[in-house]
């Protein structure tokens, strides 16, 4: 009864929901169910840095890959590799991250058991080789799932922008002037797509 009262589970469901909303807006989530009596905010504070590192790294890598591959897919739109990249991206783009991550987990932890980063907490952060290897061992699969799907989105959006930029008058004029195609791609198309 004391635990039910502590967590507010002795109240009607609508009051529990209002209590949750109040806690969400005030960042006061109470004690953890799983790690009682540790406050939930303490658990979040200890884990947020890893989430930020994972997200920032995944976003930067996927953006870089997506932009470069998108421009290449637009510039070489009639080549086989460009059509394959576009087809793969169209197939991957609508997948939810959680479903794709689960498929990769089954693949790399079950079918091809190369992912061993399951379970256990990381040791205290340091610049030691053992810590870096331990962190990379745990983070590569979640990062891969986010990078692949985000790259597909960036590739498709960048390809569309590059196709549009390729048909602009200043690009046509540069080609008519005899500017080499690699310079047209790098200075005229790529730079404008980056904007």
- pLDDT at position 123 is 60
**Model confidence over 133-176: pLDDT tens digits?**
777 777 888 889 999 999 999 999 999 999 888 888 988 898 89
| pLDDT tops 80 at residue 128 | no
pLDDT: which is higher, 140 or 121: 140
Which residue from 96, 84, 81 is spatially nearest to 145, judged by alpha carbons? 96
Residue 35's φ and ψ, nearest 5 degrees, are -120, 45
pLDDT in tens, 60-99: 999 999 999 999 898 888 889 889 988 999 999 889 988 9
> In degrees, to the nearest 5, what angle opens at C-alpha 160 toward C-alphas 155 and 161?
100
Distance between CA atoms of 95 and 13, rounded to whole angstroms? 33
Give kind and range of the element (H or E) at residue 72.
Answer: helix 40-75
For residue 103, the model assigns a pLDDT of: 92
User: What confidence score (pLDDT) does residue 22 get?
Assistant: 86
Q: To which residue do tokens 């840095």 refer?
A: 49
- In this prediction the pTM is 0.73
| pLDDT for residue 195 is more than 70 | yes
Task: Give the chain's length.
Answer: 195
Give the model's pLDDT for residue 119.
59
Name the band, by pLDDT with cuts 50, 70 and 90, for residue 3: confident
Cα–Cα distances (Å) from 138 to 54, 59, 103, 142, 175, in that order, read 11, 18, 17, 8, 49
**Tokens encoding 145:** 């799932």
Considering only residues 121 and 96, tell me which one the structure prediction assigns the higher pLDDT.
Answer: 96
Specify the DSSP class assigned to residue 95.
S
Least confident of 32-36, 92-96, 115-119: 115-119
The two tokens of residue 119 are 């379970």
How far is the C-alpha of 195 from the C-alpha of 191, rounded, in Å?
A: 7
Residues 68, 168: Cα–Cα separation, whole Å? 19
Give the pLDDT score at 184: 87
CA–CA distance, 181 with 168 (Å, rounded to integer)? 15
Q: How confident is the model at residue 125 (pLDDT cuts 50, 70, 90)?
A: low
Tokens representing 74? 């637009």
Reply yes or no on whether the pLDDT at 122 is more than 70: no
Across 10-30, average pLDDT: 84
Q: Across the chain, what does the average pLDDT equal?
A: 85
Beta bridge partners of 39: 31
pLDDT of residue 5: 77
Q: Is the pLDDT of residue 191 over 60?
A: yes
């Amino acid at each position: 009864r004391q635990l039910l009262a502590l967590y507010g589970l002795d109240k009607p469901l609508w009051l529990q929901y209002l209590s949750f909303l109040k806690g969400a807006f005030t960042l006061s989530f109470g004690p953890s169910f799983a790690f009682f009596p540790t406050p939930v905010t303490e658990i979040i504070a200890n884990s947020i840095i890893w989430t930020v590192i994972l997200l920032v790294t995944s976003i930067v890598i996927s953006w870089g890959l997506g932009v470069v591959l998108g421009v290449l897919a637009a510039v070489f739109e009639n080549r086989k590799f460009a059509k394959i990249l576009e087809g793969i991206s169209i197939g991957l783009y609508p997948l939810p991250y959680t479903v794709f991550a689960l498929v990769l987990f089954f693949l790399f932890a079950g079918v091809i058991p190369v992912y061993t980063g399951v379970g256990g907490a990381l040791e205290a952060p340091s610049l030691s080789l053992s810590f870096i290897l331990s962190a990379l061992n745990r983070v590569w699969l979640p990062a891969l799932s986010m990078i692949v799907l985000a790259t597909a989105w960036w590739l498709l959006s960048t390809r569309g922008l590059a196709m549009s930029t390729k048909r602009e008058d200043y690009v046509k004029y540069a080609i008519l002037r005899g500017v080499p195609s690699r310079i047209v791609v790098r200075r005229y198309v790529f730079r404008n797509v980056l904007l």
